């Protein structure tokens, strides 16, 4: 019995010495867990599907090459009435600009090719589709999956899509750093207006959404639109801008720039003689073929981005 006790005592001492050596040298540490496999890189262009009360909603998302993840800005481009994500992507040139300037661009689809922009327009308005909720959810999905910068999210749009940029900014003031409405008007409740940058483009000869307001002779909705000046005025006040803008003329475009607080911008480009159009769009644009209008002298896509990109939420 004594010999067995000595053997057990010796084993215990040996084990204690071995554990002490392990602790000193780190030789007996538990094996580190295997690293989780890296997530598959996101494709350059993909379609995102979101669930909503009105059924599945879709958006085309494009990322610049070589940038798989990171806090890049996001531009959400909203089509006009009867338009689509595919048509908007093919004609306005945002993919090429996103590749050069390194930002993510998303092209969501409205229900029945329209947006419920507040008091207007089309089936989404009559059916009370919550397009603000859809766009908010799309923004959240891209924050999570693409790692976009939450403080540099911008919405731009044409016509009914322009109206939707106003509606989104007014309903969700913490979603967007700036908006870029082209040929649109504010047709949503907006009291108080959010402090966001606004870069607007409009044609003086627009007969669908008249620059001075009213029912346009070519309006698809026959809505009595407010003027462009009254659409911008709540944002001029909310951004703490000087009431009168500085104006410069580069015929046929007149630029108005308000000096505002906190590095925000309110900028307007009015193209003399231009109708209901996105200046600089490719001639194949469906809306151009319908309205038989030529591209304007201004590249609206580059103009919007150049004045929005410095705006930061907050």
Alpha-carbon separation of residue 280 from 99, 142, 201, 209, 216 (angstroms): 18, 28, 12, 19, 23
Predicted confidence at residue 159, as pLDDT, reads 98
Domain spans of the chain, in order of start: 45-308
- Strand residue runs (E) in the chain: 45-50, 57-62, 74-78, 104-108, 153-158, 178-182, 197-203, 246-250, 253-259, 265-271
Q: Determine the pLDDT at residue 17.
A: 41
In 3D, which of 258, 261, 302, 259 has the Cα closest to residue 103? 302
Confidence at residue 182, expressed as pLDDT on a 0 to 100 scale: 98
**What pLDDT is attached to residue 27?**
43
pLDDT of residue 39: 54
Confidence (pLDDT) at 252: 96
pTM above 0.95, yes or no: no
pLDDT of residue 38: 42
Model pLDDT, residue 7: 41
Task: Residue 16: count other Cβ atoms within 10 Å of its Cβ.
Answer: 10
User: Starting from the edge strand earliest in sequence, which strands make up the sheet with 253-259, in order?
Assistant: 45-50, 57-62, 104-108, 74-78, 153-158, 178-182, 197-203, 265-271, 253-259, 246-250
- Strand pairing report for 153-158 and 197-203: unpaired
Choose the CATH number for 45-308 among 3.30.70.100, 3.40.50.1820, 3.40.50.2300, 3.20.20.70. Answer: 3.40.50.1820
Instruction: Give the model's pLDDT for residue 21.
Output: 42
Interatomic CA distance for residues 143 and 72, integer angstroms: 10
Low-confidence ranges of the chain (pLDDT < 70): 1-40, 67-70, 283-296
Q: Which of 160, 226, 159, 170 is nearest to 198 (CA)?
A: 170
């Amino acid at each position: 019995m004594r010999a067995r006790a000595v053997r057990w005592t010796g084993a215990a001492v040996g084990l204690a010495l071995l554990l002490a050596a392990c602790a000193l040298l780190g030789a007996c540490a538990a094996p580190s867990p295997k690293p989780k496999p890296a997530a598959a890189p996101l494709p350059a262009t993909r379609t995102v599907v979101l669930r909503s009360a009105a059924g599945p909603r879709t958006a085309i998302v494009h990322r610049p090459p070589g940038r798989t993840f990171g806090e890049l800005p996001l531009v959400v481009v909203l089509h006009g009435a009867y338009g689509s994500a595919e048509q908007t992507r093919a004609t306005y040139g945002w993919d090429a600009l996103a590749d050069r300037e390194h930002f993510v661009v998303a092209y969501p689809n409205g229900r029945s090719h329209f947006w419920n922009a507040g008091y207007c327009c089309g089936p989404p308005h009559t059916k009370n589709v919550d397009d603000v909720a859809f766009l908010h959810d799309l923004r959240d999905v891209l924050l999570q999956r693409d790692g976009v910068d939450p403080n540099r999210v911008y919405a731009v749009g044409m016509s009914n899509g322009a109206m939707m940029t106003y509606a989104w900014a007014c309903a969700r003031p913490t979603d967007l750093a700036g908006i870029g409405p082209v040929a649109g008007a504010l047709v949503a409740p907006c009291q108080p207006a959010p402090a966001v940058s606004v870069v607007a483009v409009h044609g003086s000869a627009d007969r669908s959404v008249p620059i001075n307001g009213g029912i346009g002779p070519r309006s698809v909705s026959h809505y009595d639109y407010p003027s462009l000046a009254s659409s911008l005025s709540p944002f001029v006040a909310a951004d703490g801008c000087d009431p009168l803008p500085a104006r410069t003329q580069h015929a046929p475009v007149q630029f108005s720039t308000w000096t505002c607080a906190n590095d925000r911008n309110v900028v307007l480009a009015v193209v003399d003689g231009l109708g209901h159009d996105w200046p600089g769009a490719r001639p194949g644009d469906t809306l151009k073929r319908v309205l038989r209008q030529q591209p304007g002298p201004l590249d609206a896509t580059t103009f919007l981005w150049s004045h929005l990109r410095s705006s930061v939420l907050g």
